[in-house]
């Protein structure tokens, strides 16, 4: 059985798919009422499943006339997409954000499920047994190198 977060995510992704690349603007209260949940449930879904690492831009305005605007960031080529990921990675990367990026690579059909599992294993804190912030720096460097290999094998 799917949980409420999965149902809300599916609904928002359907709205985005139907929007022809335009941003989708939603009201927290409307979604909470529609799915009979608290607004914080929607906040959780937005914060964990519609991140930059997943390829989304989220703007939010609180208050009575508040809204959440979600934009799917489209890139025209795989090279542009990978370059954008490299910019997001920067010099340090948490395990959570690394997993989001690997999931995005899989969802965008850049890597296979098996490749994603291998990459996640290599980036796991149990594999990188050094102290922070060095672990996050090493994780970023490894993922940047993996993306470079993908880029150069595509050419």
Who's near 151: CB < 8 A, 6+ residues apart? 79, 82
CA distances for 100 relative to 94, 95, 119, 127, 144, angstroms: 10, 9, 12, 18, 14
> Does the pLDDT at position 149 exceed 80?
yes
Are 116 and 106 in contact, with CB atoms under 8 Å apart? yes
- Please identify, among 27, 48, 72, the residue that sits at the C-terminal boundary of a domain: 72
User: How many domains, the chain?
Assistant: 2
The per-residue pLDDT for 154 is 65
> 64 and 109 in one domain?
no
Task: Please tell me the distance from the alpha carbon of residue 93 to that of residue 96, in angstroms, as a whole number.
Answer: 8
- Please identify, among 39, 72, 105, the residue that sits at the C-terminal boundary of a domain: 72
User: Which tens digit of pLDDT belongs to each residue from 75-122?
Assistant: 668 888 888 888 888 899 999 889 989 988 998 889 999 999 999 999
DSSP string, 104-125: HHHHTTSS-HHHHHHHHHHHST
> Does the pLDDT at position 1 exceed 60?
no
For the chain, give the mean pLDDT. 87
In the sheet that 67-72 helps form, which strands lie side by side, from edge to edge? 24-26, 67-72, 56-61
Task: Report the CATH number that the domain containing residue 91 is assigned in CATH.
Answer: 1.10.1200.150
| Residue 54: domain span | 4-72
Sign of the four-CA dihedral 89, 95, 78, 147: positive
Q: What is the mean pLDDT of residues 14-21?
A: 87
User: Which tens digit of pLDDT belongs to each residue from 21-78?
Assistant: 788 998 888 888 898 988 888 888 988 888 877 778 788 877 666 688 888 877 668 8
- Please identify, among 49, 72, 95, the residue that sits at the C-terminal boundary of a domain: 72
């Amino acid at each position: 059985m799917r949980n409420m977060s999965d149902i809300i995510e599916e609904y928002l992704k359907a709205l985005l798919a139907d929007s022809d690349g335009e941003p989708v603007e939603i009201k927290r209260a409307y979604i909470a009422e529609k799915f009979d949940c608290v607004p914080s449930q929607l906040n959780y879904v937005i914060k964990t499943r519609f991140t930059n690492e997943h390829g989304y831009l989220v703007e939010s305005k609180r208050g009575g006339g508040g809204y959440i605007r979600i934009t799917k960031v489209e890139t025209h080529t795989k090279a542009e997409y990978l370059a954008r990921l490299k910019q997001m990675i920067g010099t340090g990367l948490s395990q959570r954000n690394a997993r989001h990026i690997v999931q995005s690579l899989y969802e965008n059909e850049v890597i296979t499920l098996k490749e994603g599992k291998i990459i996640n294993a290599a980036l796991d804190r149990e594999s990188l047994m050094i102290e922070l912030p060095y672990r996050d720096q090493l994780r970023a460097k490894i993922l940047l190198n993996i993306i470079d290999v993908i880029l150069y094998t595509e050419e």
